[in-house]
Chain A
Amino acid sequence: MSADIFEYAPAPESRAIVKLNSEYGLFINGKWVSPQSKKKFSSINPATEEVLAKVSQGNQADVDKAVKAARAAYNKVWSKTKPKERAKYLFRIARLLQERAREFAVLESLDNGKPIRETRDVDVPLSAAHFFYHAGWADKLEYAGYGDNPKPYGVVAQIIPWNFPLLMLAWKVAPALATGNTVVLKPAETTPLTALLFAEICQQAELPAGVVNIVTGDGATGAALVNHGDIDKVAFTGSTEVGKAIATSIADRGIPATLELGGKGANIVFDDAPIDEAVEGIINGIFFNQGHVCCAGSRLLLQESIVDDFLTKLQSRMAKIRVGDPLDKNTDLGAINSAAQLSKIKELSESGTKEGANIWSAPCSLPAKGFWYPPTIFTGVTQAHRIAREEIFGPVLSVLTFRTPQEAMEKANNTPYGLSAGIWTEKGSKILWAAQQLKAGVIWANTFNKFDPASPFGGYKESGWGREGGRHGLAAYIKGAK
């Protein structure tokens, strides 16, 4: 009688709230314009492979037009707008995002493949919160610790990834506008739709034309933007590989960049951890957003004395992860964002098996269409395995073990990345000791994957340059600030 009572699904969120156009232009100078390239490409739903809309491929001429619009808006309007008025535009945007939260959540889920539970509870509310938070800074920048007369850079080029399309937009656009910059934003090729919907929010907020410009396209569009001669600052979130390429391409031009790049975060569980919450934290650390998270806890470091018990609990918990329709409110793990990402995940997983690690995937049925990968762990992983070193960016956890706290720190830090780390122990002094030892910009102790506009985010080493969020994140958009 009981077993089938909890067929939770399907409890799908209605798609009706989202009204998509069949085609989108570029959002330049407050208006929708056709791309000079005359080219469009499809944005698909990775859960079904259906085409959601055609979007424009911005080329160099389009980028130039957008930069010119941003420059004109900066010179003529935005730099002359009083800080307290700038603040009110941002407050408006925050409120508009809240009002249309459901619509953004559904669209994000459709375009990205992530579960509606996450877009509804994380991506969209946090995006609104980012605007609300930064709105308040706009007329208080002289109190931020960057001198009495903090100045914006001017025109900022911003390139964002596909894993948190709207949230990364908010992380970029909100502080840039609050500090008085104007923006040319390039959303990710596979997830441009919420950014295009955001353009409507800018219109509803009556944001002056040209303050925010949105140019969709692929890597070539991004390169054209970074290489444009009239930008004053670059902000990029994405892979370390592209981040380095950007750093190289701006080296001669003396313009600054903030880079928020890859990671291979260690989630360290000591034998005195709150075990049940640690299991949840590991699950959240690697399966949140299909593991498409730069700060994911993709390496589990387990103290040897608890390995067997912990893995038993972890696997039994993994078996309860609900994989499937991203719009189902009960779904925990949605679709992999693209065919390309799926093949990368598969390739790295195969390397794990080839190199002698043991693979285990949660028993779950995957939809026939779309891009899917089951929750997976590798045990018997050592520092020498590729899956312990390279960012998989998928729902794949590598399990390593350690004997002493010192060894845990050594292994955790043994990576060119330094974005995040997790510590699980009930011993306070050990938490503070470990937090001190770990070379990572964000350390979650007895929790994981928590974000807040007031909390700076960013990495050590090859995980990037600079911080986003909080007072410290403002420095990225204030001239000469550090």
Chain B
Amino acid sequence: MSELGNKLIDGSESSLRAFLDNLPGVDKVGAEGRAAMLGTRSIKTTSKARAIDLAISMVDLTTLEGADTPGKVRSLCAKALRPDPSDLKVPHVGAICVYNDMVKVARDYLDSIGGQSIPVAAVSTAFPSGRASMEVKLRDTQDAIESGASEIDMVIDRGAFLSGKFGSVFDEIREIKALCGEKAHLKVILETGELATYDNVRKASYLAMLAGADFIKTSTGKVSPAATPPVVLVMLEAVRDFFALTGKKIGVKPAGGIRTTKDAIKQLVLVNETTGPEWLTPKLFRIGASALLNDLLMQRMKLSNGRYSSANYVTVD
């Protein structure tokens, strides 16, 4: 258990349950109403340019397909470093996110093209279902770290969570965190689409933070719904309140379903109004996406030259 968690719980299943069950509930309609209201905020054009660049720098550019190949991953890495080859002022993305066996490919290639500062994130612990023994999950994570992953996106055992085995979920996160140590940042994927209720999202967020997560992440991208604004709102509220409780800033990563610049900016507005602008940095907010990057780039072009862009002018990957 993390040192911070120690102050709030004693590590026993019962103390964990007492803590989580004592959290205030989330009223669905109210939370969705708040998220929708924030969705109507519009930002001015000059701010929008900076918001787009910020969003680009927060993208965890992701490919998680059975059909992934070293070639596909390398071209994604190139795009991560220079999202718009015609405009080198565009910042690089937040990270590359791939399956385990592609970590080394990505790391090596990034290093070879000057992308040393771009971290490689590996989805781990029997992603996306998490249905494997703990031994396998640990080995999976170890493998990713050894291959050069500096960020681990683990999944929680949703089955255990839904059947009330909070201690089991907690212990798994704790063990993976111990394995990550100083070598890798740990992002804990809650798979909110399977948790079904906002109350569960809040509980799982706290559970992950108490167990030592550096980031809490909405989804694997394999389950719908994924990173809806209200889900992200609830997670941001948890992060905000956890900070008030412990003084520790935990990051948030929505992933899945964020495809347009408008979607991305709505997410940034949620951050700004909930945790505040301190969280508006890739260190504390990431967006897991693939198609989003091109939309951000096209909007960026529109802002700079005043014309709506075409897909012909952005690279496919």
A and B touch in the complex (CB under 8 A): yes
Q: Which residues of A contact B (CB under 8 A)?
A: 1-11, 117, 121, 272-277, 280-281, 312, 320, 329-330, 426, 446-447
Question: Are A7 and B280 CB-contacts (below 8 A) given A274-B30, A277-B31?
Answer: no
**Complex Cα–Cα for A274 and B33 (A):** 14
The residue that B24 contacts in the complex, of A8, A121, A273, with Cβ under 8 A, is A273
Closest to A283 in B: B34
CB-contact partner of A8 in B33, B42, B50, B234, under 8 A = B42
- Once the chains are docked, how many angstroms separate the CA of A329 from the CA of B51? 18
Q: Which of B33, B273, B277 contacts A3 (CB 8 A)?
A: B277
**Contact call B27/A446, Cβ cutoff below 8 A:** yes
* Contacting pair B24 A330 (CB below 8 A): no
Interface string of B39-53 (1 = CB under 8 A from A): 011111001001100
Residue pair A6, B29 in contact (C-beta under 8 Å): no
Q: For A273, list chain B residues within 8 Å (CB).
A: 24
Kindly list chain A residues whose C-beta atoms are within 8 Å of the C-beta of B44. Answer: 7-11
**Residues of B259-285 whose CB lies within 8 A of A:** 268-269, 272-273, 277-278, 280-281
On chain B, the residues within 8 Å of A274 by CB distance are 24-27, 30
* Nearest Cβ on chain B to A480's Cβ, whole angstroms: 39
Give min CB distance, A414 to chain B, whole Å: 27
Q: Name the A residues within 8 Å of B237 (CB-CB).
A: 276
B30 touches A280 (CB 8 A): yes
CB pair A6 B25 closer than 8 Å: no
Q: How many residues from B make CB contacts under 8 Å with A?
A: 29
Interface residue from A5, A276, A330 paired with B42 (Cβ < 8 Å): A330
Q: A273-B24, A277-B34, A446-B27 given as contacts; is B268 within 8 A of A5 (CB)?
A: yes
Identity of the chain B residue whose Cβ is nearest the Cβ of A328 in the assembled complex: B42
- The distance from the CB of A357 to the nearest CB of chain B, in whole angstroms, is 26
B30 contacts A281, CB within 8 Å?
yes
19 contacts between A and B (CB under 8 A): A1-B281, A5-B272, A6-B47, A8-B44, A11-B42, A11-B43, A273-B24, A274-B25, A274-B30, A275-B24, A276-B24, A276-B26, A276-B31, A277-B27, A277-B31, A277-B34, A281-B30, A320-B273, A329-B42
Known: A3-B277, A5-B280, A320-B273. A277 touches B30 (CB 8 A): yes
Interface membership of B180, Cβ < 8 A: no
B184 at the interface (CB under 8 A from A): no
| Nearest chain B CB to A142 CB, angstrom units | 36
Once the chains are docked, how many angstroms separate the CA of A426 from the CA of B33? 17
What CA separation (Å) do A9 and B269 show in the bound complex?
13
What are the residues of chain B within 8 A of A1 when measuring CB–CB?
A: 50, 54, 280-281
Inter-chain CA distance A281–B37, complex, in Å, is 13
- Given known pairs A275-B24, A276-B31, the reply for A8 and B54 (CB within 8 Å) is no
| A280 neighbours in B (Cβ, 8 Å) | 30, 33-34
Does A6 lie within 8 Å of B31, measured CB to CB?
A: no
Residue from the list A7, A312, A447 in contact with B43, Cβ < 8 A: A7
Tell me the complex Cα distance, A305–B34, Å. 26
Please tell me if the beta carbons of B54 and A330 are within 8 angstroms of each other in the complex.
no
